[in-house]
Every structure is written in C-alpha cells, then in structure tokens.
Amino acid sequence: MFALPVSRTAVWAHPALRVVMNAFNGAEGVTRTRGVAVTTEWQKFVAEHPPRNGVPAGQGLPAGELLFRIPLAPERMTASASTFSLQVGPEGHVNALDLENEMWVCMNHACTPTASATIAVVDDVVDVSAAVDLAPGAAVTFDYNTTEAFLADPFTCSCGAPSCVGSVAGYTTLSVDQRRARPVVAPYLLASSSSSPSSTSSTSL
C-alpha cells in the first residue's frame, strides 16, 4: 500500500515529467506565473510546445500512464477551494506544499483534456493519469469542471474544443448536456443534491 509521505518532497511525478522539470531546476531568471515559480527556460520550452502554458509531457506517454500521485495528507487539506487546490471530496481540497516543484498545480484547464484524475480512497491519494496518448511536448491539461463544485477563480476558457463550455466556474454551473458530455466526474459531485443544474445554467452558452 502506498504510504503517506511525511516530507515536503515526497510527491510522485512521472519520470518523464521530472526530466523536463529537472532540466530547468536551478536555472537563472526565475519568474512567476499563476503564483508558481518557473524559469525563463521553462517558459521558453512551454511556449515552443503548444498549447501554451501548463505542464508539457517530457516524452511520448501512452493513455492510462500515471502522471502524478498526490497524497491526501492532513497537512495538505483545506475545507475551502483556492486557485491552486484540487477538490477531492464534498468539503475537502488538497493543496501543494511546494508550489515550485509540485507541477500538478500547473495543469491548465481544457474542456477536452489530455489527463484525468481519480481519487483512490483506500490509498488516500489522487492519481492523475494520461487520458489520451501524449505526444512529446504535449500539454498535460485537466478539466477543472470534473472535480470542482465551484472554482475559487472562475475564468473564460479559450481551449478551442467544440465542447468548450466558455465560462469555467465549476460542475455546479454546467448545464445537463454539459454534464452528460463528461464521462468521468468526481463521485462527490454526482452525489451532491446541491449540484442539480438550474434551469438557466445553459444560458451562458
């Protein structure tokens, strides 16, 4: 069984992603994007591998490959959402302890994502796996509407997918059709009686 880590550096990331991350560790010119420290070299790499921003896969990875394993250790949990948290239960949100190195925080939203998350209750971890085959340099993206009831910081999506919801504000704001278009949704969202779509929820489309 996976043991909960006690150190700040025990978050697992796929070796291919670590190769990319480590290639830029220690480089000069550190700036911050979305509150996460990154290097100018990292930004250059990401810019050269569209779609821009987010976490690029360091090498080709097959669908189903485990990309990140995030422990649900008590010191990581909060009762409310933040810009960088990931909802894992009706009132539980997991946070990074080290924003500079926990690259799962950098996954950008996409309405047709390249990665998805599953919550392994038994092992108290969140596994983020490739949803599709990832080409080298492909962005590792994630559909925020499949885990978050409400986003702490809603935004307008420009992912360009035919199924793009436009305004990304959380699962509770999706229309019935938008919910049906998402085959993998966190169980606490499906079970929540407060997440029933309103009759006007589709008007933003």
Q: Which residues bind Zn ion (CB under 5 A)?
A: 111, 157, 159, 164
Q: CB of 115: closest distance to Zn ion in angstroms? A: 15
CA separation for the pair 29, 21 (Å, rounded):
15
Nearest 5 degrees, angle CA 117-CA 51-CA 100?
60
CA separation for the pair 30, 200 (Å, rounded):
44
Using an 8 Å Cβ cutoff, are 143 and 179 in contact?
Answer: no
Q: CB of 161: closest distance to Zn ion in angstroms? A: 5
Q: Which is nearer to Zn ion, 115 or 157 (CB)?
A: 157
Q: Which is nearer to Zn ion, 102 or 148 (CB)?
A: 148
Q: Which is nearer to Zn ion, 105 or 157 (CB)?
A: 157
CA separation for the pair 119, 65 (Å, rounded):
15
CA separation for the pair 131, 133 (Å, rounded):
7
Q: What is the DSSP string of 160-203?
A: --TT--SEE--GGGS-HHHHHT-S---HHHHH-GGGPPPTTTTT
Q: Which is nearer to Zn ion, 167 or 192 (CB)?
A: 167
Q: Which is nearer to Zn ion, 96 or 111 (CB)?
A: 111
Hey, what amino acid is at 11? V
Q: CB of 56: closest distance to Zn ion in angstroms? A: 19
Using an 8 Å Cβ cutoff, are 79 and 99 in contact?
Answer: no
Q: Which is nearer to Zn ion, 152 or 164 (CB)?
A: 164
Q: CB of 165: closest distance to Zn ion in angstroms? A: 6
Q: Which residues contact 79 (CB under 8 A, 6 or more apart)?
A: 91, 92, 93
